[in-house]
């Protein structure tokens, strides 16, 4: 694996090895930090067209903890496709850094970076996928339940980039993924087809519905995301009307397993896609997910660099 652009890039052994390494790094960091600074003298370029809290800090902190450095480049610093072409950005960065993390609007941008880069490229978010988030989510489920095979994960809301990566990684690792969303906001058919193929190989199931109650019934985990992502602000009013029946609240959670957890990739809009009572309640593992971004991203960087 030279790059990590999609959760579908990982085979089951690859994904399991990444999760195992992330867990080991987490234990090591909490015990006494990382005595071996494996990334000493190495730099990760963070090419971000979108602002970020979790993604940026987790990558920068992870590099620092392992002895390396994260170099943040905003849209104003580079203006990819404007002041400088995407291929030229990749060619330049490849001469200076050991890896590139790109948070972009169009998925084609991160694919082009990878095509012209001689160093590993990580998709830190695109309009098609959020594969680093999915790794953190699956690690959180594994920590909480002790195993992944046969778990029932219900995703409620927009069939967006987060949903796509969860479908792919969940199906690869044997998680039964149920998605409930309005018909016009269903996941991409190509992503769905690949997820169903992976599910057939792992013994998992994939289900798509327009009824949130169907997806949540007996679920072990209930996941939601904002109804309007960055770049969709002009659709916010219409989306609030369409997605209102898909709010994760006490009534909906009553249909899940008694020990079911609540998940959200953040940032959250309390009172819209999720109520404050649920978001901040005892079943929430939202901030465990956020913490685990740090550990899975460290594991990912080390793996891509062959370390």
Report pLDDT digits (tens) over 248-275: 999 999 999 999 999 999 999 999 999 9
Question: Cα(first)–Cα(last) distance of the chain, in Å?
Answer: 13
Which region among 72-81, 107-116, 227-236, 246-255 has the lowest average model confidence (pLDDT)? Answer: 227-236
Q: Is the pLDDT score of 65 beyond 90?
A: yes
**Mean pLDDT score of the chain:** 96
Pairing of strands 176-180, 121-125: unpaired
Give the predicted TM-score (pTM) of the model: 0.96
Distance (Å) of CA 233 to CA 25, 236, 237, 274: 37, 5, 8, 18
| Interval 76-95 mean pLDDT | 93
Q: Is the pLDDT score of 231 beyond 70?
A: no
Residue 105: predicted pLDDT? 95
Residue 79: predicted pLDDT? 86
Neighbours of 95 (CB within 10 A): 8
Q: What amino acid positions are annotated as catalytic residues? A: 103, 130, 133, 225, 265, 293
| Domains, the chain, ordered by start | 7-130+292-304 (3.40.50.1370), 132-289 (3.40.50.1370)
């Amino acid at each position: 694996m030279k790059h990590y652009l999609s959760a579908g890039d990982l085979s089951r052994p690859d994904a399991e090895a990444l999760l195992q390494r992330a867990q080991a790094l987490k234990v090591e960091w909490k015990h006494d930090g990382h005595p071996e600074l494996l990334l000493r003298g190495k730099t990760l370029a963070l090419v971000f067209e979108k602002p970020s809290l979790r993604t940026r800090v987790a990558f920068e902190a992870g590099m620092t903890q392992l002895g390396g450095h994260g170099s943040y480049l905003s849209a104003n610093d580079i203006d990819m496709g404007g002041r400088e072409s995407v291929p030229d950005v990749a060619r330049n960065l490849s001469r200076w850094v050991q890896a590139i993390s790109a948070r972009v609007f169009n998925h084609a941008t991160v694919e082009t970076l990878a095509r012209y880069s001689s160093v590993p490229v990580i998709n830190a978010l695109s309009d098609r996928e959020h594969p680093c988030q999915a790794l953190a989510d699956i690690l959180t489920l594994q920590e909480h339940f002790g195993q992944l095979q046969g778990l029932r994960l219900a995703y409620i809301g927009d069939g967006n980039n987060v949903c796509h990566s969860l479908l792919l990684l969940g199906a690869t690792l044997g998680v039964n993924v149920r998605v409930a969303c309005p018909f016009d906001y269903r996941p991409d058919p190509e992503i769905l087809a690949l997820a169903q193929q992976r599910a057939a190989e792992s013994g998992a199931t994939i289900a798509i519905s327009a009824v949130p109650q169907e997806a949540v019934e007996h679920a072990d985990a209930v996941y939601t995301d904002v109804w309007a992502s960055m770049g969709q602000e002009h659709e916010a009013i219409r989306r609030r009307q369409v997605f209102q029946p898909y709010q994760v609240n006490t009534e909906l959670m009553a249909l899940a397993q008694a020990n079911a957890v609540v998940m959200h990739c953040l940032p959250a809009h309390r009172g819209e896609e999720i109520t404050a009572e649920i978001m901040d309640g005892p079943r929430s593992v939202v901030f465990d997910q956020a913490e685990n971004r740090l550990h899975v991203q460290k594991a990912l960087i080390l793996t891509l660099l062959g370390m």
